[in-house]
Structure 1
């Protein structure tokens, strides 16, 4: 079931109002408004994390051998996590949890060790430094999926489910603005 509730802003008061009494799992993109929600297991989204490294790769200066960059290395480490999920999607939740502990957890540990090392030398105000900061700030939440086979590695499925509403909303708002002119 998908529920889409539109508000004019992304303020934390809306999340608090709509999720009052909810004390389960909430997987988000790391937006700060959700931090104020108490009694919830906050889960990070590896797709949002991976996207940050893709943006860093895309912003690399011309002539740079991308395969030699930290952005490339970290992006592909995350891809390995997604590959493990894809290969085991038909397993039971308990099997998925066990596979994650054996296969994914060492990769996640290695990823964050690499992130911390890169952060020591990264140039500020670059797409790479943004990706590294995001990873460090979200580390605890990004690790949660390792402990529960019911939790997905990303919130892509939820975002894809609401995309028609968002696209439709923009269309209606644009149409309304054109009609007012």
Structure 2
């Protein structure tokens, strides 16, 4: 009879420490315990079935948050006759401790054999709130109806860490003063967030209006100026266009959602409007 402690050890070793079943079987044999890897696999499938309701409840708790973070990461998927291919884990995180919210953080993973936009659409079909994620086009249908272009219940929030990565990737290959300048400018935005981490929401809003908003406006002007003097196919141009093409999402952490019925008086090229205050 396999105890819960043994099964927990098997699962943690396999999925946290990445120890394959056959390797664990060899380790156990050294201490006189013979458990075939097929047995381990069968136990794990049964555990997955038993724990599925807890996993669904965990994901439901995450979707109750007003803001969640989303991302995906590739993983090698082993096949039978076709060989290996790339699957994806979709990661959804609830964690607002930096905003002074002490609700327990939680993360959920959903697997798919490909990176189609249909997967996050299914995962977040009943979600209403803000999603902070990268610029993956597969998320677009979450924010606007593909046919009518009407806004949906999920509001896009841009991620400056993903934007920064575009420039650091350039610096890893060759020294670029412009890319280095971009990294410094984004680092200044991060420094503001570190200083106000854990502060009450009203205080965070106040500090962002004073410190972050002017820097964001300066970043936008700098990106536009850089982009005009670059070849459209260059890596630096693509890095500059990444935040510019989704600018309203990139500055959304410094503005609030308009109330229903409030007209949008934003003018083209203006990063912040009078009625979009924190």
* Residue of structure 1 in register with 2:181 after alignment: 73
TM-score by length of 2: 0.49
SS at match of 2:156: strand
> Residues 96-115 of structure 1 correspond to what in structure 2 (within 5 A)?
96-115=204-223
TM-score, structure 1 normalization: 0.74
2:161 matched residue in structure 1: 47
Q: What residue is the counterpart of 1:7 in the other structure?
A: 112
Q: Show structure 1 runs of 5+ residues with no match.
A: 149-181
Cα pair 1:59 1:127 within 8 Å, conserved: no
Superposed, 1:10-89 pairs within 5 Å as 10-37=115-142, 38-60=152-174, 66=176, 69-89=177-197
C-alpha separation between the residues in 2 aligned to 1:94 and 1:8? 43
Determine the C-alpha separation between the residues in 2 that align with 1:88 and 1:134.
Answer: 26
Supply the distance in 1 between the matched residues of 2:128 and 2:198 (Cα, whole angstroms): 28
CA offsets 1:125-181 (integer angstroms, 9 cap, x no match): 222112011121121111011126xxxxxxxxxxxxxxxxxxxxxxxxxxxxxxxxx
Tell me how many residue pairs correspond in the alignment: 142
Alignment of 1:73-152 (within 5 A): 73-147=181-255
State the distance in 2 between where 1:144 and 1:95 align: 17
Which entry has the higher C-alpha Rg, 1 or 2?
2
User: Matches of 2:192 and 2:119 in 1, distance apart?
Assistant: 35
Alignment RMSD: 1.4
Deviation, structure 1 residue 123: 2.4
Whole-angstrom distance in 2 between the partners of 1:127 and 1:133: 10
Deviation at 1:73, TM superposition (A): 1.3
Q: Which has the higher strand share?
A: 2
More helix by share: 1
Q: Quote how far apart the aligned CAs of 1:118 are.
A: 0.6
Counterparts of 2:238 and 2:173, CA distance in 1: 12
